[in-house]
Amino acid sequence: MALYPVVRKLLQKRVVLASASPRRQEILSNAGLRFEVVPSRFKEQLNKASFPTPYAYAMETAKQKALDVARRVHQKDLRAPDIVIGADTIVAVGGLILEKPMDKQDAYSMLSRLNGKEHSVFTGVAIIHCSYQDGRLDMEVSEFYEETLVKFSQLSEELLWEYIHSGEPMDKAGGYGIQALGGMLVEYVRGDFLNVVGFPLNHFCKKLAELYFPPRPENVQRVKHDSIPPVDTFEGLSDLSDVEGGGSSPAHSQQGHGTKDTHAKGTVAGLHSSALLEVIDGFKASKALFTASKMKVFDALGDGAPLSAVDVARKIDASEHGTGRLLDACAALGLLEKTHRGYRNTELASRYLRSDGEFSLHSLILHSDTHVWNLFTHLESAVREGTHQHPRALGSTADDPSQGTCRSQDQKLRCLGAMHGLSKLSAHQVATAFDLSQFTSACDLGGCTGALAHELAREYPGLKVTVFDLPEVIEDVKRFQPNGPQTEQVTFVPGDFFKDRLPEADLYILSRILHDWSDEKVHELLSRVSGSCKPGGCLLVAESTLDEEKQAARPGLLPSLDLLVQAQGRARSLSEYRHLLQAHGFTDVRAAGTGNIVDVILATRTEP
């Protein structure tokens, strides 16, 4: 399949590549394509865990990069490009999506996961056709992805570190570049070699031929964009020379390759019937995960050799038939690996689903099963009444809805474990979103088990952190404390942040607190923090946010419904948080995305 017949059709068109990658530029240039390079400024903050497959995430990221460039070029030049090409390459292994390492230690972690194993390299590609009609920019998007399987040899630590110290891994997805020194790590490749380099040229040529020489127009699936929502940020339109970024975080993984289209806005807009059926059946997937966690399936599998359904059934005291069906469901969800030898945990399951893991979400899953599930069965009542459903679902009449969730000691510990796991999930990203080394004291209001406080202590040895929470919370936090010298930097103080005097600190922290409360309570709390914070001090806020059109900023998160059913509060956009903080004397409000479940805002207290 040659690109040249299509190139002739593109000679008079303005083609823009939305990527700063020199490898993609070289591949397309060698194929004879003439194009401009405008790197995307799309902040890759999509929640990877919300996508059913790694390639779905890669295609959505590629699309958002291309849409960002198409819109910005049009605004800057008052002329739309004819075609914009976006691409995103990721590596997936055992349930984890790996992009570019953040540092050498991150590169080592990535390469260690790949060592001696076969993994998938996915590239999502978006081709945008732009037109300017009736005073507006219209865009049509065609998308596809390509998968290549790569196997690493079993490598020594000395060889891995030698490769890392070469500096080559730092701007490569998965921490290696197959076209250069990284080629020495690879035992074999199955599929398109150029896809591993960074761009699936063969598939791209076929897609262009399909678009420009279609045998049947009805076979070409494209999504029309009348207008594209901007990425939520406090920044305005910036210079086109800024480059695209990268990162890594866990996500569900399933294998597959071919052509697939995704959608313009959110996770439901533009759904095909098959995707709609997935939404309809979504509760079944949740219940399968809840049941497997409750029965400790992932604990039973451990990190050892694969086990048969009979072996697992014996360990969890269940029927062989029922256990086999549950294991198959978990494998279909990408939580388990199934081979002829039996079932085993994926990396994702070992890290997050075993009850004894450092980053275990086991308690959060059980809390969702026993508490959140019951609340959401009353969603219709919440919509009709506009109130949380604790009285109906749990018999709680407390002003603070959370007080109705922990009526026994077991329930209380499960709630604390759920909050601990959720906080651990984003603690590192929150602690490092901004450089906080200038602070010597911090107070984490409602800091619960201190997961964030201990992460701050690890990152900033000179920082003393006070966790300020209710007495009934503080009395049970000992079982959640880590080992290590940084524990001496963290102190727990009992108190109610609505009633008691707040501890003195240079930096106050409200992590996943404000969304739980009514506007009246939020203003009351911020007023108390403002009164305690000295001029020059700061407030750090971490929250899941909405975009500026009041849609969930991350696909798969439903903060508005969640808060309607469970709490008195509401989700807000970043600009709403900025205005809220400014109203209480905090200026120089800066925001940073974490690529995780929260965004982080740092605001400075000015003179009253």
Residues labelled catalytic? 88
Looking at the structure, tell me whether residues 215 and 91 fall in a common domain: yes
240 exposed, middle or buried (CB, 10 Å; 0-12, 13-18, 19+)?
Answer: middle
Distance separating alpha carbons of residues 136 and 260, to the nearest angstrom = 27
Across 6-10, 531-535, 597-601, least confident range:
6-10
**Residue 567: what pLDDT?**
54
**What is the rounded CA–CA span in Å between residue 593 and residue 572?**
15
C-beta of residue 451 within 8 angstroms of C-beta of residue 424: yes
End-to-end Cα, the chain, rounded Å: 69
- Residue 136 has, within 13 A of its CA and on its CB side, a CA count of 7
Mean pLDDT of the chain: 80
Per-residue pLDDT, averaged over 506-533, amounts to 93
- Which helix (H) or strand (E) segment holds residue 96: the answer is strand 96-98
Model confidence pLDDT, tens digit, residues 272-311: 565 677 778 888 999 999 999 999 999 999 988 899 999 9
Residue 363 lies in a domain: no
Residue 359: the pLDDT is: 82
pLDDT tops 60 at residue 396: no
Confidence of residue 265 (pLDDT cuts 50, 70, 90): very low
* Percentage of residues of the chain with pLDDT beyond 70: 79
| Residue 326 pLDDT exceeds 90 | yes
Does 270 or 390 have the greater pLDDT score? 390
Q: Which helix H or strand E contains 423, and what residues bound it? A: helix 409-432
What mean pLDDT comes out for the span 514-542?
Answer: 93
Q: Which residue has the higher pLDDT, 129 or 10?
A: 129
Residue that wins the pLDDT comparison between 160 and 227: 160
The phi, psi pair for 134, rounded to 5°, reads 55, 40
Q: Per the domain annotation, does 365 fall within a domain?
A: no
Average pLDDT score over residue span 106-115: 87
For the segment 424-446, the average pLDDT, to the nearest whole number, is: 92
* Max CA pair span of the chain: 74
- Nearest Cα neighbor of 460 from 528, 400, 509 is 509
In-domain check, residue 134: yes
* Domain identity same for 183 and 93: yes
**3-state DSSP helix/strand/coil percent for the chain, to nearest 5?**
45, 20, 40
What mean pLDDT is predicted for residues 480-492? Answer: 84
Same-domain pairing of 170 and 29: yes
Select from 549, 529, 552, 531 the least CA-distant residue to 539.
529
Residues 203 and 103 in one domain: yes
Give whichever of 264-278, 296-310, 418-432 has the largest mean pLDDT. Answer: 296-310
H, E, C per residue of 349-374: HHHHCCCCCCCCCHHHHHHHHHHHHH
Residue 582: inside a domain: yes
pLDDT at residue 268 above 50? no
Same domain as 453, residue 316: no
pLDDT at 8 over 50: yes
Query: Phi and psi (nearest 5°) for 420?
Result: -65, -45
pLDDT at site 376:
79
470, 504: one domain: yes
Same domain, 441 and 318: no
Looking at the fold, whether 214 and 289 belong to one and the same domain comes out as no
Let me know if residue 388 belongs to a domain: no
Tokens of 480: 């959640």
Say how many C-beta atoms besides its own lie within 10 A of residue 384's C-beta: 8
Query: CATH number for the domain including 500?
Result: 3.40.50.150
Judge whether 444 lies within some domain. Answer: yes
Q: What CATH number is associated with residue 174? A: 3.90.950.10
The model's confidence at residue 316, banded by pLDDT at 50, 70 and 90, is: very high
Calculate the CA 21 to chain-centre distance.
23
Q: Is 23 found in the same domain as 118?
A: yes
Q: What is the per-residue pLDDT for 157?
A: 84
Of residues 21 and 557, which shows the higher confidence score?
Answer: 21
Looking at per-residue pLDDT, the higher value among 487 and 267 belongs to 487
Token pair of 159 as six digits: 């060889």
CATH of the domain at 301: 1.10.10.10
Residues 6+ apart with CB under 8 A from 249: 48, 49, 97, 595, 596
136 shares a domain with 19: yes
Query: What is the number of domains present in the chain?
Result: 3
Whether 262 maps to a domain, the answer reads no
Paired with 118 in beta bridges are 151
Same domain for 408 and 343: no
Q: Is the pLDDT of residue 585 over 90?
A: yes
226: pLDDT strictly greater than 60: no
- Which pLDDT score is estimated for 14? 86
By residue range, what is the domain housing residue 489?
Answer: 402-605
At 386 the pLDDT is 74
393 — pLDDT class (breaks 50, 70, 90):
low
pLDDT at 525: 96
Q: What percent of the chain has pLDDT over 90?
A: 36
- The mean pLDDT of 323-347, rounded to a whole number, is 91
For residues 236 and 590, the model is more confident at: 590
pLDDT band at 356 (very low <50, low <70, confident <90, very high): confident
Q: Please check whether residue 265 lies inside any domain of the structure.
A: no
Euclidean distance between CA atoms 261 and 130, whole angstroms: 18
Report how far Cα 536 is from the mean position of its chain's Cα atoms: 32
- 51-102 pLDDT, tens digit per residue, is 878 888 999 999 999 998 988 887 776 567 889 999 999 998 876 888 788 8
Same-domain pairing of 75 and 156: yes
Q: Are strands 83-93 and 15-17 parallel, antiparallel or unpaired?
A: parallel
Return d(Cα 177, Cα 190) in angstroms, integer.
16
Is the full-model pTM beyond 0.75? Answer: no
